[in-house]
Structure 1
Amino acid sequence: MWPIHAEGAEMVKTQRTRRLAVLLVSFGIAAATAAPVALAAGDDGTISGGGGPNPNAERMSRDRGWVVPLAPLHFGAEPYAQVQSAAATAADEAGCSISAEAATNLALSTTWPEVSPSGESPSPMTLSRYDDQTSLADPEQRAKGLFFNPGVGMWQLDSAGLGKEETAATAIDSSSAAAKMVPYMVDRYCSSINGGSSEASARASAWSDWNACGSGACEDVYQRLGSDGVTKDENVGRYGGAEARKCTFEGAEYDCLYVDPSAAQGEDAWTADDYGPAPLPAPFYAFTYEKSGVDYEVRYWLKGDSGASTDVSASRELGVNARSKLSWDEESTLCDTTTGTGNC
């Protein structure tokens, strides 16, 4: 047994087993047109849920919402280019006057207080370690690393809010994450400006979804970016150490993203055992599939990675808070054809 927060959790065992036609996709794009027949996850497994907001997690995020004074700010070169590109488009389409540089800095300013107070490059792979509710853990407790960390990426996109329609794959991918977050913040900024707010107040409004910005850390970073700029880090790539792979599931080939915390690029303090109360997840594959018109995020653990006696998947219907409902299934069908790992 490992320490996890049990408040408000419930587990319901469902008994339905049936053959499903599933279409697996990663980043929302299928790599094949045939829909394989498979025993899949979806909502047919053991259900965990009943959890809600965790005040301790929110407090930890606020308390750690700072950046080392005067520390040089580093950012991955490839992720920076993705943010810069999204900012140029957002500034051009904005409903108020904002430069591409200001839009870039607006979007970057939340990342260091959220995931890299050292000033080192925020890792696109960052997984939250503050939420430790039982509702996020494998209800059958097959291995400690079978844990569904809800906040993902440099902007900590969480299924309770801005990440509800994202998957671990799209939240880690600095291209897709930037394409979502930059225009979101620019729109919030412009709404405040057009409502008569000052530029500083408008920036605060744009950052209001991030607890780490609550004490002024993001405004401080924004000013530092304007005066000192950022050092681009060539050692941090688009996925922050996660790897785009080819996988087969029931004989069909698909794109998938392999997420191994030990390979994180950039700031990796979040991978330390004592960083937060939530378990560090074992390496997993991230992909999305559609069943009966419903899209699900799936995280799939090979038994060789997790130490469990079988492969295990956890599924979340997109739009649903992971703390409210996850479906956990025993699996045996995924093969990583890039490396020849798994059920090949």
Structure 2
Amino acid sequence: MARRQRGPGRTSAVLLASIGLVVGLGGPALAAGGDGVPSGGGGDNPSADQLRRERAWVRLGDLKFGAEPYEAVQSAAADAAGKADCEISTTAATNLVLSPTWPEVAGSGDSPSPMTLSRYDDQTSLADPEQRDDGLFFNPGVGIWQLDSAGLGANETAATAIDSVGAAGKMAPYIVGKYCSARNGGATAAEARAAAWKDWHACDEGACESIYQRLEADGVVKDSTVDRYGGAEMRTCTYEGAEYDCLYVDPSKAQGEDAWTSPDFGPAPVPDPFYVFTYSESGTDYEVRYWLKSDSGADTDVSASRELGVNARTKLTWAAESGLCDTTTGAGTC
């Protein structure tokens, strides 16, 4: 979300959650949080991609998709097809862009929720090192396309990844571009589709091709109950004397497929409701996820910040806070 005014630099103490460095013949040296509390660290979870593959196959029946997100995908796909350097129709481009979404986040065939937060990565580096509440957790994959800070979501925030209109505008030219590159390199249409979906592990074993063929045959059922943000709400917030556009993300309000909100869906916690906005400090932009104590049950507000472009599993900074006001609802310190 856009920052409307630059605020002053932070003065609160931060806790650093970062990947340890290997020292000599020893194991990873865990970075210290406040008062030297180890905060963990690490890279990808080896079992996470396998879970994605195992859950990729989508139940037979109608494929539903939010009406507003669908219009955004169709519009972005039409634009991408019109600018493509290979032959591809608007319908084919739309289906190409849609195909990874159900295998990634909606195995039931229900509408993929733009609010979806990944539940497979449970590394300690993603959790509050002070352990103030289990729901203070930075889920790294976000949205219909599960844009992850380790890859396609490195320069996105949870807000921009949840926004299905903005995300579609980025994913359509990217996916169509990869398809055309493969076609122009001599690949068959099916091979080019597989190349276009290479970033999504749920597509590794053919689940996305199956969805593509179902879309070609039967199309999609538009679901008017799923909006642009999938149940997340745009708000206006003030923080450190500046005003921000912020998105309020409450998993209990998810629209569409909400299996991911069940505590036993995956090894990672369901996060407590949080605000997300983009914060700038000394010329560097950060994604900030901010939990009010009234939402988390912790004894203080807590923020987690990720420098844009950095994998959340590698480095997060956590801080005890007290300065955010949701001016839309009056929640927080107003």
Q: Note whether the superposition's TM-score is higher than 0.5.
A: yes
Indicate if the aligned counterparts of 1:49 and 1:136 stay in contact, CA closer than 8 A.
Answer: no
User: What is residue 122 of structure 2 aligned with on the other side?
Assistant: 132
Deviations 1:244-278 (A, max 9, x none): 00111133322100000000000000000100000
User: What is residue 3 of structure 1 aligned with on the other side?
Assistant: none
Q: Aligned residues: percent identity? A: 68
AA in 1 matched with 2:4? A
User: What is residue 17 of structure 2 aligned with on the other side?
Assistant: 48
Deviation at 1:304, TM superposition (A): 0.3
Indicate if the aligned counterparts of 2:115 and 2:143 stay in contact, CA closer than 8 A.
Answer: yes
Structure 2 residue 69 is matched with structure 1 residue 98: no
Indicate if the aligned counterparts of 1:256 and 1:285 stay in contact, CA closer than 8 A.
Answer: yes
Indicate if the aligned counterparts of 2:225 and 2:255 stay in contact, CA closer than 8 A.
Answer: yes
Deviation at 1:38, TM superposition (A): 5.1
Structure 2 residue runs of 5 or longer lacking an equivalent are 20-41
Deviation at 1:100, TM superposition (A): 1.1
Whole-angstrom distance in 1 between the partners of 2:269 and 2:96: 31
User: For 1:243, which of 233, 246, 258 is the aligned residue?
Assistant: 233
SS in 2 for 1:88: helix
User: What is residue 155 of structure 1 aligned with on the other side?
Assistant: 145
Structure 2 residue 35 is matched with structure 1 residue 66: no
Deviations 1:127-151 (A, max 9, x none): 0000000000000001110000000
Which is worse superposed, 95-104 or 268-277?
A: 95-104
Deviation at 1:176, TM superposition (A): 1.0
User: What is residue 31 of structure 1 aligned with on the other side?
Assistant: 4
Deviations 1:91-148 (A, max 9, x none): 1111111111111100100000000010000000000000000000000001110000
TM-score w.r.t. structure 2 length?
Answer: 0.92
Whole-angstrom distance in 1 between the partners of 2:130 and 2:171: 36
* 1:283–1:40 CA distance, 2 compared to 1 (3 A): farther
AA in 1 matched with 2:319? D
Indicate if the aligned counterparts of 2:244 and 2:277 stay in contact, CA closer than 8 A.
Answer: no
Indicate if the aligned counterparts of 2:53 and 2:204 stay in contact, CA closer than 8 A.
Answer: yes
User: What is residue 225 of structure 1 aligned with on the other side?
Assistant: 215
SS in 2 for 1:135: helix
Structure 2 residue 99 is matched with structure 1 residue 114: no
Deviation at 1:36, TM superposition (A): 2.7
Structure 1 residue runs of 5 or longer lacking an equivalent are 1-25
AA in 2 matched with 1:60? L
Whole-angstrom distance in 1 between the partners of 2:152 and 2:241: 34
Deviation at 1:39, TM superposition (A): 2.8
User: What is residue 18 of structure 1 aligned with on the other side?
Assistant: none
Matched positions, count: 312
What is the alpha-carbon root mean square deviation over aligned residues? 1.0
| 4+ aligned runs moved over 4 Å, structure 1 | none
SS in 1 for 2:304: strand
SS in 1 for 2:280: strand
Whole-angstrom distance in 2 between the partners of 1:40 and 1:190: 49
Whole-angstrom distance in 1 between the partners of 2:120 and 2:114: 17
User: What is residue 253 of structure 2 aligned with on the other side?
Assistant: 263
SS in 1 for 2:76: helix
AA in 2 matched with 1:39? R
Structure 2 residue 28 is matched with structure 1 residue 57: no
